[in-house]
Amino acid sequence: MCLAIPGQVAEIVDPATHIAKVDVGGVKRNVNIGLLVEEPGGIDVGDWVLIHVGFALSKVDEAEAAATLSLLRGMGEAFEDELEQLKASDIG
């Protein structure tokens, strides 16, 4: 099962290539935010995004992120598998 999981932008690593460091449940990984640079207000440190296969797909508010994380944690193994895949990934 593939999930889009919420993460919080911790740092904009490289604005030119749209790479940000995002924290997902304590796991910090580089994620491509290029799909969201045209979002109203852009993407900045502290914003919440939904991530799938190394790309931020959409910007969400903190309440939606918290609700989604709670639901995903309730899924147990599928969420843990997704976190393990995130730990193993690394985008330059």
Q: Is the Cα dihedral 71, 76, 77, 81 positive or negative?
A: positive
Q: DSSP letters of 69-92?
A: HHHHHHTTHHHHHHHHHHHH----
Fold for the domain defined by 5-88: SH3 type barrels. (2.30.30)
Q: What is the DSSP string of 20-50?
A: EEEEETTEEEEEE-GGGTTSTT---TT-EEE
Q: Which residue ranges in the chain fall short of pLDDT 50?
A: 1
Neighbours of 64 (CB within 10 A): 14
Question: What are the tens digits of pLDDT across the range 41-58?
Answer: 889 999 999 998 889 999
